[in-house]
């Protein structure tokens, strides 16, 4: 199958997209791992037909699926370059991200060492157990020479290592190809002694193989069980979308690494996804399935049904879009829904997840400051971004993942209430038909137009986007959920609270570790992060349990003295207790109420056959 390198491929900065001479030789990469014990890879790349001008090699500063800056060049060193005869070439540097090579004869080979010791969806890790490679963090490129075929040779450090990747296989098990640098950079690769499980999905045009490459310390039975669960979830997703993405080379690959020395993450790519967790399948009770569900949805929503602002993808800077509430948020809405519909979780588990999402968003202290679109544009600051100065995000930012999930929930329940035979599933399929299958990038206006088309009600679509996307309003979620015989309520009704707070203790003092929540009693009293609490009411505070004990002795509306140390000075203030605002969603059956037949039908149509029993 010929690869489709359209909207969903990784797009490059204009400097990378320069047209190449006809018949240009493929770019040749080679990666070896002789010093894996010390987390080093030795990498070389050769460009032939490079002309006679100096060649500038560059490391990426951003990565597909991530929206923040990542300084990958910091882990590249011992750089050198040679010509076709192996003669050493002059290397100069004008910035921290690039190396310029001059005096070559039309062929340039750059060789360098990469230090890599973080396994997740963005970075790379090399050790004696595996080589976990996210390409932007590992492989540099030559500016202006990007649109050529790529061939890469891996030299595994261990003869038991196999290779999992979406790259095109060749006759050599260690050699793979990409049609161009765009595809190469979007193709994470795992070299390890992983377990492999496969299954086939069918459509009229042909069949596709879905692969699970599982690097873990569990049993073969664990792998079998997880693969069966993954198959059920992927089949539920395919059923909803009504179509299978045209996976290049006929395969889709889950690259899963579940080991204590990796960092938890999930990252989508065109025909694969990276899944990482520090917990094994058995220890996590197969809880990694939720991330797998989320990432596979991205094969439709994000990889092919794609925001226009991400094109072209520029590896040299952050890549923001105002549509992450849809791209990531609606994906977050569907991920637990699909595990429920597939029968891999039950209603109680689903409602526990939904409770956390609604509590976070409805009690989110940043919603009055910015809309979902505005929150999406903050992604470069929060999406695995790093900074050393403190922020006030707990009071100013509501993540577009759960925020968008709540908008998805709102739209789904509203459509089911107001329109005959129109659901969020129908809206997603319409967007797939108009923009995803053809890989035509969408704008925010296209999302609104799609809602108008599927409902036949342009006024409804305009009002929905005005109130809930461009502004930060939300309807009465309790009323919407009641249609399904579900109750949104306070989880700890009647309990006193000074507001959500995180404490830390060293055994001698109790310190507030989080920013005080706006509109909370602590905030009003002037307490904030870093303050040491000495006494609340009549109780001395020496531990978190002391704090909990003290708070529990009051009722909402009560007042008490709080004594604390702020920047070295002891202070005393009066606090007025409010009521605990934590929210939860429960089924009517668990709240001593009987759902009606209509509510059971609604729940069954929305959540699945087994949820109304």
Tens of pLDDT, residues 285-321: 999 999 999 999 999 999 999 999 998 888 889 999 9
Helices (H), 366-457: 372-376, 379-382, 393-396, 400-418, 424-431, 444-455
Say if CB 323 and CB 376 are below 8 A apart. yes
The pLDDT > 90 percentage for the chain reads 89
- Calculate mean pLDDT across residues 515-537: 97
pLDDT in tens, 56-72: 999 999 999 998 999 99
Helices (H), 250-371: 289-297, 324-327, 329-341, 347-362
Say if CB 142 and CB 108 are below 8 A apart. yes
Say if CB 69 and CB 380 are below 8 A apart. yes
Q: Is 195 exposed, middle or buried (0-12, 13-18, 19+ CB in 10 A)?
A: buried
Structure token pair of residue 194:
């992983």
What's the predicted TM-score (pTM) here?
0.94
Say if strands 130-133 and 141-142 run parallel, antiparallel, or are unpaired.
Answer: unpaired
Say if CB 48 and CB 38 are below 8 A apart. no
Phi, psi angles (nearest 5°) of residue 26:
-60, 150
CA angle in degrees (0–180, nearest 5) for 180-165-296: 100
Confidence of residue 509 (pLDDT cuts 50, 70, 90): confident
Mean of per-residue pLDDT scores for the chain: 94
Structure token pair of residue 213:
């490459």
Say if CB 160 and CB 193 are below 8 A apart. yes
What DSSP state is assigned to residue 15?
G
CA angle in degrees (0–180, nearest 5) for 329-335-337: 110
Phi, psi angles (nearest 5°) of residue 556:
-55, 135
Say if CB 272 and CB 165 are below 8 A apart. yes
Q: What is the pLDDT of residue 399?
A: 97
Say if CB 118 and CB 149 are below 8 A apart. no
Total count of residues recorded for the chain: 613
Residue 227 to residue 222: CA distance in whole angstroms: 8
Which comes out higher in pLDDT, residue 10 or 192? 192
pLDDT of residue 17 exceeding 60: no
Q: What is the pLDDT of residue 461?
A: 98
CA dihedral 292, 335, 376, 409 (to 10 degrees): 180
Residue 35 to residue 42: CA distance in whole angstroms: 8
pLDDT in tens, 140-154: 999 988 779 999 999
Q: Smallest Cα–Cα separation from 366: which of 389, 382, 350, 387?
A: 382
Please count the CA atoms within 13 angstroms of the CA of 530 that sit on its side-chain side.
5
SS3 at position 422: coil
Phi, psi angles (nearest 5°) of residue 602:
-60, -45
Q: What is the pLDDT of residue 502?
A: 95
pLDDT of residue 21 exceeding 80: no
- H or E stretch at 276: strand 272-277
Confidence of residue 23 (pLDDT cuts 50, 70, 90): low
SS3 at position 217: coil
- Calculate mean pLDDT across residues 380-388: 89
Say if CB 324 and CB 379 are below 8 A apart. yes
């Amino acid at each position: 199958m010929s690869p489709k390198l359209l909207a969903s491929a990784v797009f490059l900065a204009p400097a990378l997209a320069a047209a190449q001479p006809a018949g240009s030789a493929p770019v040749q990469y080679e990666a070896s791992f002789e010093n894996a014990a010390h987390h080093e890879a030795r990498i070389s790349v050769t460009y032939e037909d490079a002309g006679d001008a100096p060649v500038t090699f560059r490391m990426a500063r951003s990565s597909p699926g991530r929206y923040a800056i990542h300084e990958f060049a910091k882990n590249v060193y011992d750089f050198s370059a040679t010509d076709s005869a192996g003669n050493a070439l002059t290397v100069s540097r004008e910035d921290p991200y690039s190396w310029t090579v001059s005096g070559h004869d039309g062929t340039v080979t750059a060789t360098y060492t990469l230090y890599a010791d973080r396994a997740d969806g963005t970075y790379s890790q090399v050790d004696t157990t595996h080589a976990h490679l996210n390409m932007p963090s590992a492989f540099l490129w030559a500016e202006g020479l990007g649109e050529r075929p790529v061939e890469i040779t891996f030299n595994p450090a261990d003869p038991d290592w196999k290779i999992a990747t979406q790259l095109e296989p060749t006759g050599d098990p260690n050699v793979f190809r990409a049609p161009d640098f765009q595809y190469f950079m979007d193709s994470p690769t795992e070299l390890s002694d992983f377990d492999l499980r496969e299954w086939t999905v069918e459509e009229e045009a042909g069949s596709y193989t879905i692969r699970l490459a599982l690097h873990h310390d569990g049993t073969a039975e664990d792998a079998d069980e997880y693969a069966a669960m993954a198959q059920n979830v992927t089949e539920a997703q395919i059923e909803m979308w009504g179509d299978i993405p045209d996976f290049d080379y006929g395969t889709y690959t889950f690259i899963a690494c579940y080991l204590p020395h990796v960092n938890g993450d999930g990252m989508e790519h065109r025909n694969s996804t990276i899944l990482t967790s520090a917990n094994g399948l058995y220890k996590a009770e197969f809880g990694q399935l939720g991330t797998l569900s989320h990432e596979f949805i991205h094969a439709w929503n994000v990889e092919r049904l794609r925001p226009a602002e991400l094109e072209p993808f520029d590896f040299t800077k952050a890549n923001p879009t105002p549509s992450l509430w849809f791209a990531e948020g609606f994906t977050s809405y569907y991920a637990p829904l699909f595990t429920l519909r597939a029968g891999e979780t039950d209603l109680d588990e689903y409602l526990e997840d939904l409770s956390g999402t609604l509590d976070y968003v409805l009690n989110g202290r940043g919603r009055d400051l910015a809309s979902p679109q505005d929150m999406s544009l903050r992604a470069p600051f929060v999406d695995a971004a790093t900074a050393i100065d403190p922020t006030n995000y707990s009071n100013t930012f509501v993540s577009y993942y759960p925020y968008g999930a709540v908008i998805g929930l709102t739209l789904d329940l509203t459509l089911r209430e107001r329109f005959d035979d129109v659901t969020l599933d129908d809206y997603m399929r319409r967007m797939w038909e108009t923009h995803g299958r053809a890989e035509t990038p969408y704008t925010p206006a296209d999302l609104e137009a799609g809602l108008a088309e599927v409902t036949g009600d342009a006024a409804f679509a305009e009002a929905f986007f005005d109130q809930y996307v461009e502004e930060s309003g939300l309807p009465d979620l309790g009323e919407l959920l009641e249609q399904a015989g579900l109750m949104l309520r306070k989880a700890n009704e009647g309990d006193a609270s000074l507001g959500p707070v995180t404490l830390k203790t060293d055994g001698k003092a109790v310190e507030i570790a989080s920013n005080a929540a706006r509109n909370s009693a602590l905030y009003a009293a002037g307490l904030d992060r870093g303050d040491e609490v000495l006494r609340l009411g009549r109780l001395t505070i020496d531990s978190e349990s002391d704090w909990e004990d003290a708070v529990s002795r009051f009722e909402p509306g009560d007042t008490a003295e709080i004594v604390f140390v702020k920047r070295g000075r002891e202070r005393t203030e009066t606090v007025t207790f409010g009521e605990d605002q934590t929210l939860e969603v429960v089924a009517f059956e668990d709240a001593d109420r009987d759902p009606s037949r209509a509510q059971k039908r609604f729940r069954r149509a929305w959540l699945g056959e087994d949820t109304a029993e």
